Structure 1
Amino acid sequence: MGLTKRIVSPADLRQWTSSIACNEILNLINSVNSKLVSRPIQDNLKSSKAIMLVCEMLDKLQQAIKDYPPDEQPQRFGNKAFRRWFTWLQENAIEIGSTIFHDHGTTDFTDPPMLYTGAVDEVSGYLVESFGNSTRIDYGTGHELAFLAFLTCLFKLNILKTQTDSGASTINDLLAVGLVVMPKYLVLVRLLQTTYRMEPAGSHGVWCLDDFQFVPFIWGSSQLIGSQHNPTVITDRDVVELEKDKYLLFSCISYIHQCKTGPFEEHSHTLYGISEVPKWEKVNSGLIKMYKGEVLEKFPVVQHFLFGSLLSFDKIQNGKPLGGSEINVGVGFSQQGFIPSNIDSFVKPISSTIQQSNQHGEKS
């Protein structure tokens, strides 16, 4: 089965938020989030073979940028050379994606069994969607969502594993997704953005969390729980630059400083508001709530999402996603669908709503 669009109107959002695909991706986000608590990025982390293959794949995509240098003539919206890099990705996605399957000749561990070629096709399809739109030459949270779908498929195929083998010297694959894969993915997409002057897709200007990313802020705030830094340091550029290689959130803020000029509180109003929140735990839970409202509930973002056999549009039942773990429907979803959130009250100001959501608990 090839990947297909199923979200064609805002009326499809309820089906989407109660779908297997949406819930399994959210389950991955929460699973990695819980693993990252108080875990800064460290040098020389030993990862599984599958994680290393994903990283090698991202390295190959990054190296290919050199083969498609930006056009020198003035261009108003993005550099059209990105389309040549993207065409190369489309033409080679199957071959590139298949390298991750290493010793997996079949995928008979899926239920129902899935042929190797079908699995590679779907995984590669999500990979292609993970780096931007070649027509508009833009990138945003919808493309980040596609990369999360790509990773979710690898867990469903048991290529990446939720459990670490007894006695293994490597870190858990869920932890490695946050500490190893996501930093490498960010390096790649940032290079694409700066090389080809990609536009933000669907940005809300100063009221958005960030022009390009969202999930690294969630995972980065989890990393900072229990650290020596409290949320006030978000506005301290010296601390941000000193710690950007250890924490995803600081890495994202450092990149914002590279791309934007002027006072931080003006060009990144929502992020500035986080500095007023007393604890990272509250920041983390508030950002998860905001992600559901600003990404998963927004038709302009999810209308481009593609569905297949691995991540289907079917309504969730008591399934076993991500290597056999039960789906957690207590993190903002119910069997009837997603409980809408009042995102305006969260964004303006973010700090008061984060505190309120933790005082009253999240609806489910």
Structure 2
Amino acid sequence: MEAPSSTQPGNQAIQFPTLEILNPTEPHTFINPAKRINDGPDVKAFLKSKAYRDIGTFVLQLNRAMCPRKVTDQDGNEVIKTFQIGSESETQPAEPARKLQQMLSKINSFIDEAPPDPGPRRFGNVSFRKWYKLLDERVQSLLDEYMPEPVLKYGSTSKHTEATAADELKAYLLGSFGSQQRLDYGTGHELSFLAFLGCLWKLGAFQDGNPNGDTERNLVLGVFEPYLRVVRRLILTYNLEPAGSHGVWGLDDHSFLPYVFGSAQLTRAIKEDEPMPLEGSLFRVPKPALVAKSDHVEEERKRNMYFSAIGFINDVKTGPFWEHSPILFDISGVRDGWGKINKGMIKMFNAEVLSKFPVVQHFTFGSLFSWDQDPGAAEPQNSIHLANQPRASQGTMPAPGGAAGTAAPWAQATSMPPSGPGVPYSTAPWISGQSSMRPPPPTRPTGTQMPPIRSWAKGNNR
């Protein structure tokens, strides 16, 4: 996505899009969220839906809030303000985010009530189903205890309907922690938690927060990062399988958004009225290449979400980093800074999460994240990337050109370049002109020295 300039004709400052907040004085009909993406071609309809538009708007809103800021101190000097794990956004958030922290802490405590079954297991531990049952049985009481009453009873004065705001919130919250049937967790579940936060935003749960991005930073650092900690404990405790994993050719087996928000934390600083930078890094932040060095990762994971996510990969995988995570290794060779990486992560999130049937097939649609067509959506453009969607009913691949790419305003220039035969990607997917497959580094015995960052990354990352 190409960020807009900070001014429009007439020198008027641009208004950066934010997720809408519903007007409580207007009637609203809630809908029990339901699955709508049942076959590969249904992804095309999703890419023109209001839900897709709102997800993209919310991600970009949170992403921009994490970018460092140029601010003026009391003496009139310009200083740089950064936003890190463990900062006030996490330790002293506004009341709505603090309540969500407490709710996540309670959900985390359920693990102690459902210890894993003993004995070695190749796949997920069945005790995860016991944990999930506890969550299912208690989800309503969790909402009653930690959610503002006006949010849960939103629209209760209007005509009676079968569904309520709580019904929509429950569906996304329950979908945020993995599948009790498949004993797995992946980016589709992470997307469900994002939708849960988006529902709360739309219902006005965060209107009492501070302006200038502080509310969004409360959500990312104060809520989303603690959510990831709960999920990571679930994965380790119950040995949850990756959901819809691409193996080594995927960015990450379980999560995606920490790479978006974490790279935003390290981009060059902007003023409050400036758009998101497309290249450059904050002065003296870790170089991208350091993600392949475990000692640096261990130190930086305490402060940065990108490094925290890579640290978790190191917790669950062994062997050279370039061998088990070649996509992240390729990205570490980008020379134009964290702004370039962040831009690429937005593109890749659109392509690898929102545009992939295996990921979005389980997403449910209600009134807050609606399946209805976005009246402002352009007709999606044909795309080789999206043409390769599986048909659930036939088990076959649709013909090229049968599905389409995305043309949503928030995702301009986010379609992936055509990939070569074999694996979907072998270089950072936003590197222009890299359309053919590039082989991974030669396999070396575990424990040997990691090969240097590839020289071909230099100059090819535009």
Residue 40 of structure 2 is aligned to residue 40 of structure 1: no
- Which residue of the partner structure matches residue 37 of structure 2? 7
Q: Does 1:106 find its partner at 2:153?
A: yes
Q: Which ranges in structure 2 are unaligned for 5 or more consecutive residues?
A: 1-30, 69-82, 268-281, 378-406, 436-458
* TM-score normalised by the chain length of structure 2: 0.69
The 1-side partners of 2:218 and 2:355 are apart by: 28
The alignment's TM-score, normalised by the length of structure 1, stands at: 0.86
Pair 1:135-2:135 in alignment: no
Deviation of 1:76 after TM superposition, in Å, equals: 3.1
Q: Compared with structure 1, are the counterparts of its residues 339 and 252 closer, same or farther at alpha carbon in structure 2 (3 Å cutoff)?
A: closer
| Whole-angstrom CA distance in 2 between matches of 1:304 and 1:220 | 26
Is the 2:347–2:430 contact (alpha carbons within 8 Å) kept by the matching residues of 1?
A: no
The answer to whether the 8 Å contact 2:344/2:430 transfers is no
- Shift of residue 185, structure 1, vs aligned partner: 0.7
CA contact (8 A) 1:106 1:115 kept: no
2:342 corresponds to 1:284 = yes
Q: Is the Cα–Cα contact under 8 Å of residues 162 and 174 in structure 1 kept in the other structure?
A: no
- C-alpha distance 352-20 of structure 1, shift in aligned 2 (>3 A): closer
Match of 2:235 among 181, 190, 193: 193
Alignment partners' CA distance in 2, 1:129 and 1:34: 26
Separation of aligned partners in 1, 2:118 and 2:426: 41
Distance 1:342 1:238 in 2: 34
Matched, 1:330 2:409: yes
One-letter amino acid of the structure 2 residue matched with residue 237 of structure 1: S
Give the conservation status (yes or no) of the 8 Å contact 1:221–1:280.
Answer: yes
**Distance in 2, Cα, partners of 1:331 & 1:347:** 23
Deviation (angstroms), 1:180: 1.4
In the other structure, the counterpart of 1:324 is none
Q: What CA RMSD, in Å, does the superposition of the two structures yield over aligned residues?
A: 3.1
Structure 2 CA distance for partners of 1:190 and 1:4, relative to 1, 3 Å: same
1:309 corresponds to which of 354, 367, 382: 367
Q: What is the alpha-carbon distance in structure 2 between the residues aligned to residue 114 and residue 24 of structure 1? A: 26
Counterpart-to-counterpart distance in 2, 1:106 and 1:11: 37
Measure how far apart 1:243 and its partner are: 1.4
Q: Is the 8 A contact 1:109 1:157 kept in 2?
A: no
State the 1:343 CA deviation: 6.4
Decide whether the 8 Å contact of 2:94 with 2:209 is kept in 1: no
What does the per-residue CA deviation read over 1:84-127, in whole Å, with 9 as the maximum and x for residues that have no partner?
010111111122123343242632499x9998971011101100
Counterpart contact for 1:216–1:249, Cα < 8 Å = yes
> Quick check: 1:122–1:308 contact (8 Å CA) kept in 2?
yes
- The residue aligned with 2:126 is 80
Cα deviation digits, residues 17-69 of structure 1 (max 9, x gap): 11111211111111010000132223444211111111111000001100000
Q: 1:236 to 1:145 in 2, by over 3 A?
A: same
Cα offsets for 1:257-289 (capped at 9, x unmatched):
111111100000000011110111110011111
SS of equivalent residue, structure 2 residue 232: helix
Alpha carbons 1:123, 1:150 under 8 Å: kept: yes
- CA shift for structure 1 position 204: 0.9
1:347 aligns to 2:422 (yes or no): no
The share of aligned pairs that are identical, in percent, is 37
- How many aligned positions are there? 344
Consecutive unaligned residues in structure 1, runs of 5 or more = 320-327
**Aligned partner (choices 88, 97, 102) of residue 56 of structure 1:** 102
In the alignment, which residue of structure 1 is the partner of 2:391? none
SS in 1 for 2:255: coil
Q: What is the CA distance between 1:249 and its match in structure 2? A: 0.4
Distance across 2 between alignment mates of 1:296 and 1:350: 18
1:235 paired residue number: 292
Q: Which has the higher contact order (CA 8 A, sep 6+)?
A: 1
Q: Does the CA-based 8 Å contact 1:162-1:172 persist in structure 2?
A: no
| Distance in 1 between residues matched to 2:321 and 2:168, nearest whole Å | 40
